[in-house]
């Protein structure tokens, strides 16, 4: 996977189609990378989701149109830049520029500039990434699931974990037979050992996330889901350090260093796994990991 070239090609594609009805799926398809991994990598490398990048570029161009003071009315600009109503366009415009279109027309120096991104990835430092390659059979897992947007997942997934820990990790949470079933399943299947991201194929810009463990068979408590991870070869990256910083750092290095320089593997399917060990997640010696399914080139 030539990750760097794909990012540059994606930005070129978006610039050529800013006024078209495109989103993350169309951009990922244009560079022949799964929408799941492309959206994840684009956000890590650039700091923007694909939706944010497209929206910011369009609103900057709309600001230029406003300053030019041509004959286009607000309703025309709204439709031109993909908004359903003048009101929704004006709200987005005002949030982005800090001024309404009419105000910006009288204060053009206040325009917020958002130029096309220039992608440059440098592999820095002297430490090689710590990873192993391992073949694993298909795995059945069980856990709690929730659907997240790529735009807000960094903020929302930690809240999901906090909810899980607050509700199920306390000794005194049990209040009835249903709770006892969940408690037993969490203990037997070690639910919380894995965080699993799976592409949400039916809805663009979303993915399904599981707080999970390995399913051991038996009754499936209400509110929990069993799902299968296909057999594959996995690249397993090791993380050492307090959470979530250590895991986020390795995740960033995967997309900024390992993928751009990798000539041996391609992503096999649209799942990635976070692995968590026992112990204090705030410890400097805490061990976790990121697993990617791969196929050899």
Same domain, 286 and 230: yes
Q: What CATH number does the domain containing 260 carry?
A: 3.20.80.10
Please check whether residue 183 lies inside any domain of the structure: yes
Rg (CA), the chain: 23
Average pLDDT of the chain? 88
Please check whether residue 94 lies inside any domain of the structure: yes
Residue 270 has pLDDT above 50, yes or no: yes
Q: What CATH number does the domain containing 78 carry?
A: 1.10.10.60
Domain's final residue, options 81, 110, 139: 110
Residue 239: strand pairing partners = 288
Query: At which residue do the structure tokens 């979530």 appear?
Result: 244
Give mean pLDDT, residues 225-250: 92
Residue 119 has pLDDT above 80, yes or no: no
Cα–Cα distance for residue pair 165/178, rounded to 1 Å: 17
The pLDDT of residue 115 is 94
As for how many domains the chain has, the answer is 2
The pLDDT of residue 6 is 87
Alpha carbons within 13 A on the beta-carbon side of 162:
7
Q: Is the dihedral of CA 47, 35, 211, 181 positive or negative?
A: positive
- The model carries a pTM of 0.79
Give mean pLDDT, residues 217-244: 94
**157 contacts: CB under 8 Å, gap ≥ 6:** 148, 195, 209
The pLDDT of residue 253 is 87
- For the record, the structure tokens of 287 come out as 């061990």
Could you read off the pLDDT of 35-57 as tens digits, one per residue?
888 888 898 888 898 999 999 99
Give mean pLDDT, residues 15-34: 92
Same domain, 52 and 13: yes
Could you read off the pLDDT of 57-98 as tens digits, one per residue?
999 999 999 998 767 889 999 999 999 999 999 999 999 999
- Taking each helix axis from N to C end, the angle separating 50-68 and 35-46, rounded to the nearest 10 degrees, works out to 60
Q: What is the DSSP string of 146-208?
A: EEEETTTHHHHHHHHHHHHHHHHSSTT---SHHHHHHHHHHHHHTTTSEEEEEE-TTSTTEEE
Give mean pLDDT, residues 249-274: 86
Please check whether residue 36 lies inside any domain of the structure: yes
The pLDDT of residue 241 is 92
The pLDDT of residue 126 is 47
Could you read off the pLDDT of 94-107 as tens digits, one per residue?
999 999 999 999 99
Q: State the DSSP code for 212.
A: E
Residue 282 has pLDDT above 80, yes or no: yes
Could you read off the pLDDT of 127-185 as tens digits, one per residue?
567 899 999 999 999 999 999 988 788 789 989 999 998 888 765 555 555 578 898 99
Residue 200 has pLDDT above 80, yes or no: no
Domain's final residue, options 110, 145, 178: 110
The domain in which residue 71 lies consists of 3-110
Same domain, 239 and 138: yes
Same domain, 106 and 137: no
Give mean pLDDT, residues 276-287: 92
Same domain, 103 and 144: no
Please check whether residue 47 lies inside any domain of the structure: yes
Please check whether residue 116 lies inside any domain of the structure: no
Same domain, 99 and 143: no
Q: Is the dihedral of CA 215, 220, 225, 228 positive or negative?
A: positive
Please check whether residue 265 lies inside any domain of the structure: yes
Same domain, 144 and 50: no
Same domain, 75 and 144: no
């Amino acid at each position: 996977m030539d990750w760097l070239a794909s990012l540059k090609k994606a930005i070129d594609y978006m610039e050529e189609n800013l006024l078209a009805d495109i989103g993350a799926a169309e951009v990922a398809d244009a560079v022949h990378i799964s929408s799941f991994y492309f959206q994840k990598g684009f956000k890590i490398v650039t700091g923007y989701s694909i939706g944010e990048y497209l929206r910011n570029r369009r609103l900057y161009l709309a600001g230029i149109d406003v300053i030019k003071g041509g004959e286009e009315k607000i309703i025309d600009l709204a439709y031109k830049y993909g908004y359903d109503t003048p009101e929704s366009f004006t709200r987005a415009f005002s949030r982005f520029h800090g001024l309404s279109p009419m105000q910006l027309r009288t204060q053009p120096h206040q325009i917020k500039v958002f130029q096309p991104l220039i992608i440059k990835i440098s592999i820095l430092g002297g430490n090689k990434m710590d990873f192993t390659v391992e073949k694993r059979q298909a795995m059945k897992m069980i856990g709690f699931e929730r659907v997240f947007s790529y735009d807000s997942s960094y903020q929302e997934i930690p809240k999901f974990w906090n909810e899980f820990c607050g509700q199920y990790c306390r000794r005194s949470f049990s209040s009835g037979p249903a709770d006892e079933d969940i408690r037993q399943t969490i203990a037997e299947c070690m639910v919380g050992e894995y965080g699993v991201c799976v592409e949400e194929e039916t809805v663009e810009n979303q993915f399904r996330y599981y707080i999970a463990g390995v399913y051991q068979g038996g009754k499936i408590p209400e509110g929990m889901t069993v799902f299968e991870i296909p057999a594959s070869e996995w690249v397993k990256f090791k993380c050492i350090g307090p959470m979530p910083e250590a895991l986020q750092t390795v995740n960033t290095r995967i997309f900024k260093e390992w993928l751009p320089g990798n000539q041996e593997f391609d992503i096999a399917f649209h799942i990635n796994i976070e692995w968590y060990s026992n112990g204090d997640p705030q410890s400097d010696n805490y061990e976790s990991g990121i697993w990617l399914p791969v196929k050899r080139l």
